[in-house]
Amino acid sequence: MTDLTPLGAALRTALDGRWAHVRQDARERLTAEEFMPDPTLDMEAHRSRTFDQMRRLAETGQPREGFPVEYGGKDDVGGSVTAFEMLAHGDLSLLVKAGVHWGLFGGAVANLGTQRHHEQYLDAIISFDLPGCFAMTEVGHGSDVQSLRTTATFDAATDELVVHTPDPSATKTYIGGAARDGRLAVVFAQLVTGGRSHGVHAVLVPIRDESGRACPGVTIGDCGAKAGLAGVDNGTLAFDHVRVPREALLNRFGDVAQDGSYSSPIEDPSRRFFTMLGTLVRGRVSVAGAAGSATKTALAIALRYAVQRRQFAAPGSDEEVVLLDYRTHQRKLLPALATTYALHFAQGELVSALHDVQTATEPDERAQRELESRAAGIKALTTWHATATIQACREACGGAGYMWENRLPMLKADTDVFTTFEGDNTVLLQLVAKGLLTGYRDEFGQMDTLGMVRFATRQFAGAVAERTVAGALVQRLVDAAARRDEAVLLDRGEQLRLFEDREAHVLDGLARRLRAAGSAPGEAFAAFNDAQDHLLLAARVHIERIVLEAFVAGIDACEDDAAAALLDRVCDLHVLATVERDKGWFLEHGRLTPARAKAVTAQVNRLCAELRPHALTLVEGFGIPHEWLRASIADPRVAP
């Protein structure tokens, strides 16, 4: 990695956070191989290359670290997710293939299975000798996992489970690894014993033998070409009364005895279901991290181009203007850069929370719920931010941004599905909002009557604590808010108060609205539906508050004064650009006067100009080794 400027290095330290050693290790370990696929490869060649990369990645031992100590791992959940985030600076086909195999498939075996599964499979999963699939989504049901139609029926006569696809809409689809490489699949199916359904459970089903032939009764299809991620072999799986031993059930949260009786440590079927899904939260946190890395790569490329490329001579001058000196260009890239910083700190807190919850000796249900809610919300905001920012970067690089050699096309195409997989963003934000409402109800009562809430909790709900880890700090800042009129927009306490107040007002309005709505069965959907945009707003402003608090905590923890001062300006830009985007709301609700709203726009412009000279330093802070950028327009030889 080229030497950083002292300020760039200090920023990097601030951003590297709790798993700095994992980031540094990745910077030293990840090789050129991990970065650019060859665009001339056809689909099969790309898949084959990704498979080979998986083998090499397994050999590094890195994928092992997130697994239990008993199987040679380190139980290092946070380190493992951070390593995944770093891998996302490279070829995203490899990333997704790794996420499917070790994260989803391996994670399901580790977290939904018990010792018998661990002993039988974990070594071969860790070494990638047993490529796996995570077969949850069906043609007919994706977001609504509870309604999956594949069945796993216990046959006491043979002590087996019969896995079956009752109709084409129950065919598993988009399953990574199914089309080419997968040998064993975790299949999510309605578990039926003695004619009674116990809801969705996970069963291990072999889909291919060692020679690569489909197992008897398993029909495998190929999803074919996609927008991106050409190296991932997504396919379909259908089962015709496929028999597996009863022990193939991943039985940590629900088991079938030899006599067909069902037992579970969790009485309530709905709570059981959400507990099972909850163990998979790591996937959402990982996708959010990967989206952040792709966004940083795109910004690094677009900003490097923006400080080199000139177009149009200024009036009265022969010298052409550098793109990033144009206000429109600053506005395209710098607020997005600021928000990328904000989301980075929020992601860091999320990973930390994930690690602490999943490695705690005593399970903490409240912390788990809060984690799930945050993971859902941050995943949604981060992946939408990635989609918008990578698109803006492409456009900001003009024709050069459309060329494969400059990486932006691949970043756009590969990440485009991040807003969909591991939970559709729109559905995820509803989960967050419903969690908020549940918390609200707990506090204020009176919401039980609503059919809406029943509908809500079907999808899952999580109580959400009032303040993030930065609680005390935030309170101090809010208390000390200056309220001096001219400086008010740049006062961190006032900014925090503005975000808190918006959240409280939106949530309060939503609760009042739903309370006023009819609760008869026929009216419940209408009431829910009428409030749906309000619901999404509530989720968004809640997560935006959490993101801001994380940024504030990150600055507070920064030990370098110059870096902290620069981060302060970046945070201002993030806040004011967020307020500007939501200006309509703030004006409509009397939170900003028209004069102050105009001042917000002026302030965004001023902050863009102020940060413009630091653009490359802020890119340095991301800590992406130059040789990883691999875009000819992002020539590293240009000094900041």
Amino acid identity of 595?
A
Contact residue for a second copy among 90, 99, 107, 401 (CB under 8 A) = 401
Q: DSSP letters of 247-284?
A: GGB--SS-EE-TTS-EE-S--SHHHHHHHHHHTTHHHH
By the rule CB under 8 A, 584 interacts with a second copy: yes
**Residue 427: Cβ within 10 Å count:** 15
By the rule CB under 8 A, 320 interacts with a second copy: yes
Q: Of 195 and 584, which has the nearer Cβ to a second copy?
A: 584
Q: Any idea which residue has 């100590």 for tokens?
A: 69
Minimum distance, C-beta of residue 327 to a second copy, in the bound complex (Å): 4
By the rule CB under 8 A, 424 interacts with a second copy: yes
By the rule CB under 8 A, 459 interacts with a second copy: yes
By the rule CB under 8 A, 637 interacts with a second copy: no
Are 20 and 9 contacting, i.e. CB atoms less than 8 angstroms apart?
Answer: no
Sign of CA pseudo-dihedral 525, 530, 532, 538: negative
Are 577 and 371 contacting, i.e. CB atoms less than 8 angstroms apart?
Answer: no
Q: Of 212 and 522, which has the nearer Cβ to a second copy?
A: 522
By the rule CB under 8 A, 325 interacts with a second copy: yes
Residue list 25-44, contact with a second copy (CB under 8 A): 39-40, 42-43
* Region binding a second copy by CB under 8 A among candidate stretches 76-84, 190-198, 220-228, 276-284: 220-228
Q: What angle separates helix 561-581 from helix 6-16, to the nearest 10 degrees? A: 70
By the rule CB under 8 A, 322 interacts with a second copy: no
By the rule CB under 8 A, 454 interacts with a second copy: yes
Minimum distance, C-beta of residue 197 to a second copy, in the bound complex (Å): 15
Q: Any idea which residue has 């102020």 for tokens?
A: 610
Minimum distance, C-beta of residue 256 to a second copy, in the bound complex (Å): 27
Residues 636 and 4: their CA atoms lie apart, in Å, by 11
Minimum distance, C-beta of residue 379 to a second copy, in the bound complex (Å): 14
Length in residues, the chain: 640
Residue 198 backbone phi and psi in degrees, to 5? -110, 15
* Region binding a second copy by CB under 8 A among candidate stretches 52-60, 96-104, 139-147, 255-263: 139-147
By the rule CB under 8 A, 460 interacts with a second copy: no
* Region binding a second copy by CB under 8 A among candidate stretches 260-268, 310-318, 471-479, 547-555: 310-318
Beta-carbon contacts of 503 under 8 Å, excluding residues fewer than 6 positions away, are 538, 541, 542, 544, 545
Contact residue for a second copy among 124, 270, 391, 626 (CB under 8 A) = 391
- Measured between alpha carbons, how far is residue 437 from residues 428, 431, 633 in Å? 14, 10, 48
CA of residue 456 relative to chain centroid, distance: 22
By the rule CB under 8 A, 404 interacts with a second copy: yes
Minimum distance, C-beta of residue 231 to a second copy, in the bound complex (Å): 15
* Region binding a second copy by CB under 8 A among candidate stretches 235-243, 311-319, 483-491, 547-555: 311-319
Are 268 and 457 contacting, i.e. CB atoms less than 8 angstroms apart?
Answer: no
Residue list 529-558, contact with a second copy (CB under 8 A): 529-530, 532-533, 536
Residues in contact with a second copy, shown as a per-residue x/- string from 345 to 384 under the rule CB under 8 A: ----------------------------------------
Q: Of 533 and 561, which has the nearer Cβ to a second copy?
A: 533
Maximum distance among all Cα pairs of the chain, rounded to whole angstroms: 91
By the rule CB under 8 A, 313 interacts with a second copy: yes
DSSP H or E segment with residue 193: strand 184-193
Minimum distance, C-beta of residue 328 to a second copy, in the bound complex (Å): 5
Tally of CA atoms within 13 A in the half-sphere of 534 that contains its CB? 17
Q: Any idea which residue has 């992406």 for tokens?
A: 624
By the rule CB under 8 A, 513 interacts with a second copy: no
Q: Of 94 and 229, which has the nearer Cβ to a second copy?
A: 229
CA angle, 275 as apex, 463 and 158 as ends, to 5°? 165
Residue list 586-605, contact with a second copy (CB under 8 A): 587-590, 594, 597-598, 601, 605
Nearest Cα to Cα of residue 126 among 113, 142, 111, 110: 110
Nearest Cα to Cα of residue 281 among 194, 369, 344: 369
Tokens of 246: 């009863």
By the rule CB under 8 A, 633 interacts with a second copy: no
Residues in contact with a second copy, shown as a per-residue x/- string from 164 to 193 under the rule CB under 8 A: ---------xx-------------------
Q: Where are the alpha helices (DSSP H) in 558-638?
A: 561-581, 583-588, 594-611, 615-621, 626-629
Which DSSP category does 147 fall into?
Answer: G
Residues 465 and 435: their CA atoms lie apart, in Å, by 10
* Region binding a second copy by CB under 8 A among candidate stretches 100-108, 113-121, 181-189, 321-329: 321-329
Residues 350 and 342: their CA atoms lie apart, in Å, by 13
By the rule CB under 8 A, 141 interacts with a second copy: yes
Give the torsion through C-alpha atoms of 520, 522, 524, 530, to 10 deg.
Answer: -130
Are 10 and 560 contacting, i.e. CB atoms less than 8 angstroms apart?
Answer: yes
Which DSSP category does 208 fall into?
Answer: B
By the rule CB under 8 A, 405 interacts with a second copy: yes
Contact residue for a second copy among 497, 505, 583, 626 (CB under 8 A) = 583
**Residue 115: Cβ within 10 Å count:** 9
Residues 532 and 426: their CA atoms lie apart, in Å, by 10
By the rule CB under 8 A, 224 interacts with a second copy: yes
Residue list 255-294, contact with a second copy (CB under 8 A): none
By the rule CB under 8 A, 395 interacts with a second copy: yes
By the rule CB under 8 A, 640 interacts with a second copy: no
By the rule CB under 8 A, 448 interacts with a second copy: no
Contact residue for a second copy among 82, 165, 347, 419 (CB under 8 A) = 419
By the rule CB under 8 A, 562 interacts with a second copy: no
By the rule CB under 8 A, 399 interacts with a second copy: yes
Minimum distance, C-beta of residue 235 to a second copy, in the bound complex (Å): 12
User: Could you tell me how many residues of this chain bind a second copy (CB under 8 A)?
Assistant: 83
Contact residue for a second copy among 188, 273, 421, 628 (CB under 8 A) = 421
By the rule CB under 8 A, 70 interacts with a second copy: no
Residues 607 and 623: their CA atoms lie apart, in Å, by 23
Minimum distance, C-beta of residue 578 to a second copy, in the bound complex (Å): 13
Q: Of 212 and 316, which has the nearer Cβ to a second copy?
A: 316
* Region binding a second copy by CB under 8 A among candidate stretches 56-64, 209-217, 338-346, 583-591: 583-591
